[in-house]
C-alpha cells in the first residue's frame, strides 16, 4: 500500500507567464519504495493568518478583513488561495513536480487584500492533499486513496509575491467597481472635463479631504 508524504521545497515566480504565476516545487515521496504508476492529485492551498505576528501598521491595514485587533482571536481564519488538480507521472521513490499557483491583484479577493496589507516577513501557506493513486498490484493496476491528513506547510516570503505583482502591474493596481458606481465616476470625470482617471480620483480625494477638515 503506497504511503505518500509531501514537501514543498521552493516557490518561485514562473518565467514568461502571461499572468502572475508562482511555481511550487512539490516533492512527493513514497515511503514504501514501490512503483507508482500515476497520481490524480487534488490540492487545496490556504493562507493561515494565525501563524504569524503583525506590526501595528499591518493591524491597521487588516481591519477590513479581521476587524479590531481585540477580535482577532476569533476572526483570524484560513483564507482559500486555490483548488488545483495535478496529474503526477509515474515514479518509484520520489519525484518533484511543478504545482502552479495562480495569483491575482483583484482587491475584491480576500487573499489579495491580506497580502497587500503586509509589510514584510513570511506568508504562512498550507497545502492540503487528496486524490487517487494508481499503482501495480498482484492482479494488475490497483487504486488507493490519499488520506485526508496529508498536508505540507511553507513560509513564502511576502516580498516574492509583491515583486511578482510589480513585474506584472508596475506602479499600478486593478480595482473592480459595480457598474452604477463606475457610471457616477464617469459622469463626474466628464462634467468636470478631467482628462485622466488618475486626476479624477485625485480630485475626489481632495474634495473628501476638504470635507473632513
Give the span between the Cα atoms of 102 and 82, in whole angstroms: 8
* Predicted confidence (pLDDT) at residue 212 exceeds the cutoff of 70: no
Residue 14 and residue 95 in one domain: yes
Helices (H), 42-154: 56-61, 63-66, 72-75, 110-116
pTM equals: 0.81
Number of domains in the chain: 2
Residue 51 and residue 118 in one domain: yes
Residue 52 and residue 134 in one domain: yes
The confidence score (pLDDT) of residue 207 equals: 64
Domain containing 11 — which CATH number?
2.60.40.10
Of 98, 112, 106, the residue nearest 12 (C-alpha): 98
Structural domain containing residue 198? 179-212
36 three-class SS: strand
Please count the other Cβ atoms lying within 10 Å of the Cβ belonging to residue 110.
Answer: 14
Residue 8 and residue 103 in one domain: yes
Residue 120 and residue 199 in one domain: no
Answer yes or no: is 115 within a domain. Answer: yes
Residue 152 and residue 191 in one domain: no
Residue 42 and residue 130 in one domain: yes
**pLDDT, tens digit, for every residue of 151-210?**
999 999 999 998 898 888 887 777 778 889 889 988 888 888 888 888 888 888 886 545
Residue 22 and residue 109 in one domain: yes
Write out the three cell numbers for 3.
504511503
Answer yes or no: is 200 within a domain. Answer: yes
Please count the other Cβ atoms lying within 10 Å of the Cβ belonging to residue 141.
Answer: 10
Q: Is 7 exposed, middle or buried (0-12, 13-18, 19+ CB in 10 A)?
A: middle
Give the span between the Cα atoms of 92 and 75, in whole angstroms: 43
Amino acid at each position: 500500500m503506497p504511503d505518500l508524504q509531501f514537501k514543498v521545497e521552493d516557490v518561485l515566480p514562473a518565467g514568461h507567464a502571461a499572468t502572475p504565476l508562482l511555481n511550487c516545487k512539490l516533492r512527493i515521496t513514497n515511503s514504501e519504495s514501490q512503483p507508482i504508476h500515476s497520481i490524480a492529485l487534488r490540492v487545496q492551498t490556504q493562507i493561515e493568518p494565525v501563524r504569524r505576528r503583525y506590526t501595528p501598521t499591518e493591524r491597521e491595514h487588516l481591519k477590513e478583513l479581521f476587524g479590531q485587533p481585540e477580535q482577532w482571536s476569533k476572526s483570524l481564519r484560513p483564507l482559500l488561495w486555490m483548488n488545483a488538480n495535478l496529474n503526477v507521472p509515474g515514479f518509484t521513490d520520489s519525484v518533484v513536480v511543478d504545482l502552479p499557483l495562480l495569483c491575482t491583484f483583484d482587491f475584491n479577493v480576500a487573499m489579495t487584500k491580506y497580502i497587500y496589507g503586509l509589510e514584510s516577513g513570511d506568508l504562512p501557506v498550507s497545502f492540503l492533499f487528496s486524490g487517487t493513486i494508481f499503482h501495480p498490484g498482484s492482479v494488475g493496476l490497483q487504486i488507493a486513496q490519499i488520506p485526508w491528513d496529508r498536508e505540507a506547510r511553507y513560509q513564502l516570503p511576502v516580498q516574492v509575491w509583491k515583486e511578482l505583482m510589480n513585474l506584472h502591474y508596475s506602479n499600478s493596481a486593478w480595482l473592480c467597481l459595480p457598474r452604477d458606481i463606475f457610471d457616477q465616476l464617469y459622469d463626474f470625470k466628464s462634467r468636470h472635463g478631467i482628462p485622466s482617471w488618475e486626476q479624477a480620483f485625485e480630485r475626489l480625494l481632495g474634495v473628501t479631504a476638504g470635507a473632513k477638515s
